């Protein structure tokens, strides 16, 4: 496998080639001056010229081939030695040119190859010198030059290699950083769009789940389904439609993306599903799975920042705003006492005082909300509690929950709805119990309706219904509860809280 020459290596190659041309020129001129155009000098000129032209024309990749540089340099060293032998051996005008092969060897083969080539060239030159009857010392300057050139070029090569390595590393890091930045920008853009969609109500997990489930159930008439996602506090059911047939075929289909599972779809069908049907369902839920995964990602990222900000806000409200308002209330109380002789003024101050008291209570409730803002939805809680009832009659949960109720209310609302459903399930003899309603945080309305025996709300049956308990719970959170029932007709329990 051929190594690809680095740009600096190509430049060094050209430089050495140019250097050889210069050395050849110097050699030719010196040779012409010294020998005045003798036949030997002309032959040497031709040989030296052939060597320089050959190395200049040789494709660079030849040097990178296995044993390429060794072959070229050894051949080159022999050719130049011939030219030198013809023109005086160690004192030849082509001495400078003879540095070419060791230099090439050092550049392409490294210090060791360069040194080997230099020593071989020097040894051959020494032999030629001895063969010519000249003293060995005549070859010493040439040997020293070989070594100096090899050493110098070797050091330069190492320096250039280090610089190239650093430049490569920097370029790679820059490229990697650029890619990460681009990815972050993409994520930022995606999160921003998701955030905008959520703010605008375009991406509501419950609505998406309900729509998906309805799309699937439309394709498989008579089936029932439940779509749930994995939340921090366990699996949360986002939508449930239809009444599962006990003799039906149950399929658990995971909501998965390429690298994670975000929930599952429980589908109960009247007829067994074919592989094609399952593939069809998988195709429908895949984009939903991706959307939920993105939503979870967004919630994770935004969640930590939101929690931090929520804690800060709660602390500020608890430590500063609340007590300051309370202090204002006390000041109003004192002023009202001092205005006992002016009933009109005192009455106005009392009204102001009541408003301040309400404000303090609102702040207190908000602090509680901020500190306990996370948790399962009302739908999830109701599904969990009513699923424990089991058996007949079936309890159908069909709640449209845009945002969960306030943490200070959700517990009592769950208890009220569960109690009503339990009563209907256990005592009414109904064929079905339906829990429906709409919820949007501080306001909502939920009904538990059955087609059972009903009762007379004016005469609460003994022991079972606990209507008083439900009324007390509703009263505690500022909600109203209504019991519509007639013997033999069925019962509707409706709890309402807040207003738009």
Partner 1 sequence: MIRVMIADDHQLFADGLSQALNSLPDTRVVGVVNSGPDLVTSLDSQPAEVAIVDIEMPGGDGIESISVVGRQTKAIVVSMHADDQQRERAAKAGARGFFSKGVPLATLAAAVRAVADGQNLMELSDEERDSLLETYGEAELDPGAASLTPREREILQLLAVGVSATDELADRLYISQKTVKNHLASIFQKLAVSDRTQAAIEAIRLGIARPS
Give 148 or 334: the residue with its C-beta nearer to partner 1.
334
Q: 448, 413 in Cβ contact below 8 A?
A: no
Radius of gyration, alpha carbons of the chain: 46
Q: Is 311 an interacting residue with respect to partner 1 (CB under 8 A)?
A: no
Q: 224, 258 in Cβ contact below 8 A?
A: no
Tell me if the bond preceding 439 is cis, omega within 30° of 0. no
Give 209 or 360: the residue with its C-beta nearer to partner 1.
360
Q: Is 349 an interacting residue with respect to partner 1 (CB under 8 A)?
A: no
Instruction: Give the nearest distance from C-beta 306 to partner 1 in angstroms.
Output: 22
Q: Is 320 an interacting residue with respect to partner 1 (CB under 8 A)?
A: yes
Instruction: Give the nearest distance from C-beta 422 to partner 1 in angstroms.
Output: 24
Task: Give the interface segment with partner 1, choosing from 108-116, 196-204, 322-330, 423-431 (CB under 8 A).
Answer: 322-330
**What is the pairing mode between strands 433-440 and 443-450?**
antiparallel
Give 356 or 449: the residue with its C-beta nearer to partner 1.
356
Q: Is 361 an interacting residue with respect to partner 1 (CB under 8 A)?
A: yes
Contacts with 19 (C-beta within 8 Å, 6 or more apart), sequence order: 100, 103
Per CB under 8 A, which of residues 104..123 are in contact with partner 1?
Answer: none
Instruction: Give the nearest distance from C-beta 325 to partner 1 in angstroms.
Output: 7
Task: Give the interface segment with partner 1, choosing from 178-186, 188-196, 318-326, 464-472 (CB under 8 A).
Answer: 318-326
Kindly give the interhelix angle for 407-427 and 378-387, rounded to the nearest 10 degrees. Answer: 30
Residues 368-407: x where in contact with partner 1 by CB under 8 A, - otherwise, as a string:
x---------------------------------------
Q: Indicate if the alpha-carbon torsion angle 76, 82, 85, 88 is positive or negative.
A: negative
Binding partner 1 (rule: CB under 8 A), the pick from 122, 322, 405, 454 is: 322
Instruction: Give the nearest distance from C-beta 320 to partner 1 in angstroms.
Output: 8
Give 15 or 324: the residue with its C-beta nearer to partner 1.
324
Instruction: Give the nearest distance from C-beta 349 to partner 1 in angstroms.
Output: 11
Instruction: Give the nearest distance from C-beta 328 to partner 1 in angstroms.
Output: 8
Instruction: Give the nearest distance from C-beta 229 to partner 1 in angstroms.
Output: 30
Q: How far apart are CA 126 and CA 80, in angstroms?
A: 14
- The DSSP result for 87-121, as a single string, is TTGGG-TTTTGGGHHHHHHHHHH-HHHHHHHHHHH
Q: Which of 263, 315, 318, 312 is nearest to 286 (CA)?
A: 263
Q: Is 334 an interacting residue with respect to partner 1 (CB under 8 A)?
A: yes
Query: Tokens 């975000």 belong to which residue?
Result: 262
Q: Which of 98, 108, 119 is nearest to 59 (CA)?
A: 108
H helical segments located in 317-406 = 322-338, 343-371, 378-387
Q: Is 319 an interacting residue with respect to partner 1 (CB under 8 A)?
A: yes
Task: Give the interface segment with partner 1, choosing from 26-34, 58-66, 192-200, 317-325 (CB under 8 A).
Answer: 317-325
Contacts with 65 (C-beta within 8 Å, 6 or more apart), sequence order: 2
Give 95 or 363: the residue with its C-beta nearer to partner 1.
363
Q: Is 333 an interacting residue with respect to partner 1 (CB under 8 A)?
A: yes
The tokens for 476 are 């505690």
Q: How far apart are CA 163 and CA 168, in angstroms?
A: 9
Give 327 or 438: the residue with its C-beta nearer to partner 1.
327
Phi then psi dihedrals of residue 184, to 5 deg: -60, -40
Q: Is 25 an interacting residue with respect to partner 1 (CB under 8 A)?
A: no
Q: Is 324 an interacting residue with respect to partner 1 (CB under 8 A)?
A: yes
Beta-bridged to residue 484, according to DSSP, are 492
Q: 131, 84 in Cβ contact below 8 A?
A: no
Q: Is 352 an interacting residue with respect to partner 1 (CB under 8 A)?
A: no
Q: What is the enclosing helix (H) or strand (E) of 265?
A: strand 261-269
Q: Is 316 an interacting residue with respect to partner 1 (CB under 8 A)?
A: no
Per rule CB under 8 A, count of chain residues that contact partner 1: 27
Q: Is 93 an interacting residue with respect to partner 1 (CB under 8 A)?
A: no
The footprint of partner 1 (CB under 8 A) covers 318-320, 322-331, 333-334, 337, 353, 356-361, 363-364, 367-368
């Amino acid at each position: 496998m051929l190594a690809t020459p680095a740009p600096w290596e190509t430049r060094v190659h050209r430089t050495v080639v140019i250097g050889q041309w210069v050395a050849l020129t110097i050699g030719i001129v010196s040779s012409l001056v010294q020998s005045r155009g003798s036949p030997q000098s002309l032959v040497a000129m031709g040989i030296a010229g052939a060597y320089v032209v050959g190395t200049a024309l040789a494709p660079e990749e030849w040097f990178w081939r296995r044993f390429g540089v060794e072959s070229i340099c050894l051949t080159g060293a022999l050719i130049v030695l011939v030219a030198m032998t013809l023109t005086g051996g160690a004192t030849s005008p082509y001495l400078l040119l003879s540095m070419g092969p060791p230099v090439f060897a050092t550049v392409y083969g490294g210090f060791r190859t360069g040194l080997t080539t230099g020593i071989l060239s020097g040894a051959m030159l020494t032999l030629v010198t001895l063969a010519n009857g000249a003293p060995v010392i005549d070859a010493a300057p040439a040997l020293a030059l070989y070594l100096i050139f090899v050493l110098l070029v070797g050091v330069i090569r190492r320096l250039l290699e280090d610089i190239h390595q650093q430049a490569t590393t920097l370029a790679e890091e820059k490229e990697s950083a650029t890619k990460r930045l681009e990815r972050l920008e993409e994520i930022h853009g995606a999160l921003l769009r998701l955030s905008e969609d959520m703010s605008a109500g375009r991406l509501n997990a419950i609505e998406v789940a309900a729509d998906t489930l309805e799309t699937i159930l439309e394709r498989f008439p008579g089936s029932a389904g439940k779509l749930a996602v994995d939340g921090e506090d366990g699996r949360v059911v986002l939508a449930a439609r239809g009444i599962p047939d006990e003799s039906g075929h149950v399929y658990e289909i995971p909501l998965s993306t390429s690298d994670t599972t975000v929930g599952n779809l429980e589908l109960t069908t009247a007829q067994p599903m074919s592989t094609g049907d399952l593939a069809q369902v998988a195709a429908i839920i895949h984009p939903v799975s991706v959307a939920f995964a993105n939503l979870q990602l967004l919630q994770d990222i935004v969640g930590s920042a939101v929690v931090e900000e929520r804690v800060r806000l709660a602390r500020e409200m608890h430590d500063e705003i609340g007590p300051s308002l309370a202090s204002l209330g006390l000041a109003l109380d004192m002023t009202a006492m001092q205005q006992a002789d002016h009933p009109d003024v005192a009455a106005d101050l009392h009204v102001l005082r009541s408003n301040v008291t309400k404000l303090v209570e609102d702040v207190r409730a908000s602090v509680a909300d901020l500190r306990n803002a996370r948790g399962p939805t009302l739908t999830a809680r109701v599904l969990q509690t009513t699923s424990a009832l089991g058996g007949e009659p079936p309890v159908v949960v069909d709640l449209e929950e845009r945002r969960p109720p306030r943490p200070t209310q959700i517990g009592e609302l769950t208890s009220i709805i569960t109690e009503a459903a339990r009563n209907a399930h256990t005592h009414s003899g109904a064929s079905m119990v339906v829990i429906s309603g709409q919820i949007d945080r501080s306001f909502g309305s939920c009904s538990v309706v059955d087609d059972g025996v009903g009762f007379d709300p004016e005469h609460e049956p003994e022991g079972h219904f606990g209507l008083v308990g439900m009324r007390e719970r509703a009263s505690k959170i500022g909600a109203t509860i209504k019991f519509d029932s007639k013997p033999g007709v069925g019962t509707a329990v409706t709890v309402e809280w807040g207003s738009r």
